[in-house]
Amino acid sequence: MKQWYILVICVSLAIMTSCQTRTNDIVGVWERVGDYGEGSVVEVEKVGGFFQAKLIDFPLTGLMAEMAFQKGDMKWRNVNFIQEGYYQGEDLLKIVNTQGEVVSTRYDPIHLELLSQNVLEIRAFAAGDEFIGTVQRWNRMIPEGEKHNR
């Protein structure tokens, strides 16, 4: 009976550890590709019970610069694990005037889907300005030291 009890505890711990690892799959550095925001880079980390993505780089010309984004902006916030490969959160949007000054900021709801270990797709809940992009594709940036190990 004691062995059965220990076996149940071990299996439960293994399942919980496996689930915890899957929820953290979006942690890392991601680069936006294939649209006007291409070249933007965010770093996703878990803070408390949520994930957040800080903008760490973007091209000096292009959409992100025109929309007055800054390095260090919290690009995604309140990102919550829904089920394996699926998350929901909020994406930072900025509205600028003709002089390029920010006149308002807001966070819009988004779906995040991990299409593979290294490809993340983000969709707005509703269709919007297609120039900015209601669908975004992000590729995981693999550190140089790890590229040779894959």
Q: Is the pLDDT of residue 84 over 60?
A: yes
In which band, very low, low, confident or very high, does the pLDDT at 63 lie, cut at 50, 70 and 90? Answer: confident
Residue 9 has pLDDT above 70, yes or no: no
pTM to 2 decimal places: 0.77
Q: How many CB atoms lie within 10 A of CB 17?
A: 9
In the chain, what is the straight-line distance between the N-terminal and C-terminal CA atoms, in Å?
44
In the chain, % of residues over pLDDT 70: 75
Reply yes or no on domain 27-147 having CATH 2.40.128.520: yes
Q: What is the pLDDT of residue 142?
A: 85
Tracing tokens 């699926």 back to the chain, one arrives at 86
pLDDT digits (tens, 9 = 90+) for 31-59: 999 988 999 999 999 999 999 999 999 99
DSSP for residue 130 = T
Sign of CA dihedral 14, 19, 20, 22: positive
Q: What is the pLDDT of residues 120-142, one digit of tens each?
A: 999 987 555 554 557 899 999 98
| Dist. CA 78–CA 138, nearest whole Å | 18
